Each structure stands twice: as structure tokens, then as C-alpha cells.
């Protein structure tokens, strides 16, 4: 019963709205009536209210130049400042090429490289003070004591049971060798 009363009330309200609309009190405004460019004549009768306005469908007059919608908008920012002029720098001074190494330096490097390949592989003690070292270089093995020349270009300057000092005869480059324990 409650639902039927609610439905009847809703029906009465809807009917009232329709009557109010038909009598013209709640007529909506059309776009043409609000337009400031092309004001439409005011509708006076019900017949004029329901008439289709064909004058609104006519094309507006074409202007002499069409609008370019891709033009950039005018900017309010000041124009950019011009870039500063490039300053020419003075030329860089010529860099002298390094001098090639002297023959003495080349000979010293070659002697050090050759000395790095020599190995002390053994030590012998003969008699009282006679000490002999066993050396290996470039696949050859030679023996030599203190002050003796080995491999025709190196001289043994110091020899102990665990170390030997070898000097190259021309450049006097020296290397200290440890007894090679690997063999």
C-alpha cells in the first residue's frame, strides 16, 4: 500500500511538470535567442515556438581571408637576446715532439731486458773459498764465480749461497738474482 501511494504521488508530480511545460512557463531558451550576433525575433505564439528556424542553418558570410589556425600565438615575452660574438682565441703554442731516446738509453734498456732473462739456478762451493753459480739465459747454461764473465757480456759482481748480482759489461746495468727454488 505504501508503494502505490508513492507511485500515485510521483505520477501527479510528473503530470504537473508536463502541463507547466506545455503552457510555456518552463520553455528553454534556444541558441538563436541568446545569440548576440544574430538575434532572433521573439516568439509570441505557440505556433512560433515550435517552428524550425532555418535562418540559423544558413552559412555565415565568408571573410576575405580565411583564418590560419596554425599561426603561433603572439608571445608576451621579450624577444631573445642575440648570442654573444665568438672571440677568437690565440693559437696554441707548438708542442715540441719529444726527442727520440739516445743510443745510450736504448742500450741500457736492451741490457736491462737481457738481464731480466738470466736465472740463478744453482750454487756450488768447492774447497774453502771457491764459490760457483750456475746461470741460465736464452736456453744456455753456464757456470761462473765472482769476477768472472758469463755469456760473453755479463760479469758476476757478487755471489752468495742464495743471491747473485750480475752487471752488463758495457752499460754497467745490474740485476740482483735470487736462487731459483722451482727446479
Does residue 142 contact residue 154 with C-beta atoms inside 8 Å? no
Domains and CATH numbers, the chain: 118-178 (2.30.30)
126-153 pLDDT tens trace: 877 788 999 998 889 999 888 889 998 8
Residue 119 burial (CB count, 10 A): 18
Which pTM was predicted? 0.45
Does residue 117 contact residue 153 with C-beta atoms inside 8 Å? no
Does residue 133 contact residue 123 with C-beta atoms inside 8 Å? yes
- For residue 53, what is its C-alpha cell? 528556424
Does residue 38 contact residue 32 with C-beta atoms inside 8 Å? yes
Q: Name the one residue in this structure whose C-alpha cell is 682565441.
A: 89
56-95 pLDDT tens trace: 777 766 666 677 888 877 777 787 888 888 888 888 888 8
CA 122 – CA 136 distance, rounded (Å): 9
Amino acid at each position: 500500500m505504501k508503494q502505490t501511494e508513492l507511485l500515485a504521488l510521483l505520477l501527479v508530480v510528473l503530470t504537473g511538470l508536463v502541463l507547466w511545460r506545455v503552457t510555456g512557463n518552463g520553455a528553454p531558451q534556444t541558441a538563436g535567442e541568446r545569440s548576440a550576433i544574430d538575434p532572433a525575433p521573439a516568439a509570441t505564439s505557440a505556433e512560433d515556438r515550435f517552428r524550425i528556424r532555418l535562418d540559423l542553418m544558413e552559412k555565415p558570410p565568408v571573410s576575405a581571408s580565411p583564418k590560419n589556425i596554425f599561426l603561433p600565438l603572439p608571445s608576451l615575452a621579450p624577444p631573445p637576446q642575440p648570442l654573444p660574438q665568438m672571440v677568437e682565441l690565440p693559437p696554441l703554442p707548438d708542442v715540441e715532439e719529444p726527442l727520440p731516446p739516445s743510443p745510450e738509453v736504448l742500450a741500457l734498456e736492451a741490457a736491462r731486458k737481457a738481464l731480466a732473462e738470466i736465472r740463478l739456478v744453482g750454487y756450488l762451493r768447492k774447497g774453502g773459498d771457491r764459490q760457483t753459480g750456475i746461470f741460465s739465459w736464452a736456453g744456455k747454461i753456464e757456470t761462473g764465480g765472482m769476477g768472472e764473465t758469463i755469456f760473453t757480456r755479463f760479469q758476476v759482481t757478487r755471489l752468495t749461497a742464495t743471491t747473485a748480482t750480475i752487471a752488463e759489461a758495457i752499460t754497467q746495468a745490474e740485476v740482483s738474482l735470487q736462487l731459483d727454488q722451482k727446479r
